[in-house]
Amino acid sequence: MNRPTRRTRGDISRAPDHVLITGSTSGLGRALAERYAAPERTLSLAGRDETRLAAVASVCRDRGAKVDVQKVDVTDAEAMERWVVERDQALPIDILIANAGIGGSAVVPSSSGESGPLARQILGINTMGVINTVTPVLPRMTERGAGHIVMVGSIQSAIGLPQSPVYCASKAAVQIYADALRRLLADRGVRVTSVLPGFVDTPMSRSLDMPRPLVWSAERAADRVMADVAKGARQSVFPWPIRLLVGLQRYAPVMVVDAVLRQSTRLGWANKDDAG
Ligand SMILES: NC(=O)c1ccc[n+]([C@@H]2O[C@H](COP(=O)([O-])OP(=O)(O)OC[C@H]3O[C@@H](n4cnc5c(N)ncnc54)[C@H](OP(=O)(O)O)[C@@H]3O)[C@@H](O)[C@H]2O)c1
């Protein structure tokens, strides 16, 4: 494989040299890392679990990629700044994927809602963790007029599910941040894509004690995200029937949406019992 020439302003026509991914030790992030792994490509992979980091790095190296791993918590803003800048200095990051997050049973509160500590943990990882990943690279990408920022949100950013109020809010914040940043950076050669998946078959969604309609495998979701990123899509939203339903509810009267979603708790999508 010939080494491609340097990326020009806003150019998405060729394969990336350097992809950085947070939350690459599991689920969607791991599937993305393994699929982006290719000869001549550098992957910078982060997570907290060193054993799983080493395992994904090994698979990616077997596929020919140069891999740098970092054990880092996305809530540690200073550590994230150091790592992202260091990786960008080593080789300009073409695609930065802020994917790390918590969800599943870990974010389902009791029927009285999230406790303060749980709410702060969810927002700290899912919202501030994304911002801590993205902000260090912004001045660097805008200065060179190239780069692609990908933020993994959720289809739940568009709908307030009673099963996970703060999780929905944490993802809605990511969605709005991505939209605003895309508009801000549009003339600076930097692209922004937000990813809004429905259910993906990962440890996160498997932890839920509830049905997962239209669930996709992590590999299928990763393929879709990569295809959307490669064509410079503003959003990567899947699967389409969930996208359609979520889109339609925006036009429905709030009292109708409230009534439907309240019924969802009776269909097995329950909150954790107060005593549980
Ligand atoms: N699965 C779904 O149905 C679904 C649906 C919509 C959106 N999403 C979103 O997709 C993204 C990936 O989720 P997934 O399903 O692949 O979940 P997963 O299998 O549980 O993986 C989550 C990843 O995030 C990392 N992570 C969590 N907290 C972290 C922290 N404080 N600092 C650094 N890394 C942290 C984990 O790393 P360690 O284990 O090494 O700590 C792990 O690699 C999340 O943003 C999630 O909200 C998932």
| pLDDT digit string, tens, across residues 112-160 | 999 999 999 999 999 999 999 999 999 999 999 999 999 999 999 988 9
How do residues 65-115 score in pLDDT, each as one tens digit? Answer: 999 999 999 999 999 999 999 999 999 999 999 999 999 999 999 889 999
pLDDT at position 245 is: 85
In a domain, 5, yes or no: no
Q: What is d(CA 267, CA 274) in angstroms, rounded to the nearest whole number? A: 19
Q: What is d(CA 265, CA 122) in angstroms, rounded to the nearest whole number? A: 22
Ligand 1, atom 31: nearest CA belongs to which residue?
Answer: 73
What are the CB-based long-range contacts (under 8 Å, 24+) for 230-233? 230/12, 231/12, 232/12, 232/148, 232/191, 232/193, 233/193
Span 179-196, mean pLDDT?
A: 97
Quote the mean pLDDT of the chain.
92
In a domain, 2, yes or no: no
CA of 25 to the centre of ligand 1 (A): 9
Catalytic residue list:
167
Ligand 1 within 6 A of CB of 105: no
In this predicted structure, the answer to whether residue 44 has a pLDDT above a threshold of 80 is: yes
**3-class state of residue 14 by DSSP:** coil
The beta-strand segments (E) located in the chain are 18-21, 42-47, 66-71, 95-98, 148-152, 191-197, 200-201, 216-217, 235-238
Ligand 1, atom 2: nearest CA belongs to which residue?
Answer: 200
In this predicted structure, the answer to whether residue 3 has a pLDDT above a threshold of 50 is: no
Q: Which two tokens stand for residue 1?
A: 């494989």
In this predicted structure, the answer to whether residue 10 has a pLDDT above a threshold of 60 is: no
Name the CA radius of gyration of the chain, rounded: 19
In a domain, 3, yes or no: no
In a domain, 235, yes or no: yes
pLDDT at position 274 is: 42
In a domain, 12, yes or no: no
Q: Which two tokens stand for residue 109?
A: 């509160």
pLDDT at position 266 is: 65
In a domain, 8, yes or no: no
* pLDDT greater at residue 16 or residue 246: 16
Q: What's 103's domain CATH number?
A: 3.40.50.720
Query: What is the tally of structural domains in the chain?
Result: 1
CA-CA-CA-CA torsion sign (168, 173, 177, 180): positive
Whole-model pTM?
0.94
In this predicted structure, the answer to whether residue 265 has a pLDDT above a threshold of 90 is: no
In this predicted structure, the answer to whether residue 259 has a pLDDT above a threshold of 60 is: yes
In a domain, 6, yes or no: no
In a domain, 45, yes or no: yes
Domain that residue 75 falls in = 18-267
Span 165-182, mean pLDDT?
A: 97
Of ligand 1's listed atoms, the one at least distance from the Cα of 155 is: 6
Span 156-177, mean pLDDT?
A: 94
Span 187-200, mean pLDDT?
A: 97
Q: Which of 5, 3, 16, 8 is nearest to 149 (CA)?
A: 16
The fraction of the chain above a pLDDT of 90, given in percent, is: 78
